[in-house]
Amino acid sequence: METNFESIEARVDYLKKIFTQLKDWEDKYKWIIQKGKNLEESSTLSEAEKEDKLRVSGCQSQVWLKSFYDEKSNILSFKANSDALIAKGLVGVVVSIYQHQEPAKILKHSPDFLIDLGLSENLSPSRSNGLYSMLKQLKLYAQVYELMNLKQ
């Protein structure tokens, strides 16, 4: 999934369209794994960047998520990685939805699309918990930068 769509909702709609076109959950898992393998280089943490402080707690696999904030444009960007293919794909999906957005827009957006896609019910409980931990960490980054904006 490309990240050049303007709004979060347009990205979610695109993701829903992809999932609708996939026949079954085996195909959806394959797509998620491929998403992780094809995570844009600009969005992938290198081995050297995988610091303990960037690990997402609550994930069974090791997942790292780092934020970058551009004060001038008020845009938040992310880099991520994982040691497991499905987890890397899931964090890739989450990052691609919220990449290059304003913190306030990230915070306002409900993650209901995860339910709409069936991810909550078709992932194992540990993967589902990990997915929500990734999203929670991403939103915490957005919250920090939004609070910084409000103090200025």
In this structure, are residues 106 and 76 in contact, taking their beta carbons and an 8 Å threshold? Answer: yes
Q: CA 113, CA 111: separation in Å to the nearest integer?
A: 5
With CA atoms as reference, report the closest residue to 117 among 2, 13, 35, 43: 13
Domains of the chain: 8-151 (3.90.1010.10)
List pLDDT tens digits, range 77-122. Answer: 999 999 999 999 999 999 999 999 999 999 999 999 999 999 888 9
Is 59 a catalytic site residue? yes
3-state DSSP assignment of residue 78: strand
Amino acid at 148: M
Asked whether 65 and 137 are in contact (CB, 8 A), the reply is yes
- The token duo for 125 is 């409980």
What pLDDT digit, counting tens, does each position of 19-58 carry? 999 989 999 999 999 998 888 776 889 889 999 999 999 9
Contacts of residue 110, defined as CB under 8 A and 6 or more positions apart, other chains included, come to: none
Identify the pLDDT of residue 40: 74
| Residues 65, 105 contacting (CB under 8 angstroms) | no
Question: pTM for the complete prediction?
Answer: 0.90
> Which is catalytic among the residues 12, 59, 76, 114?
59
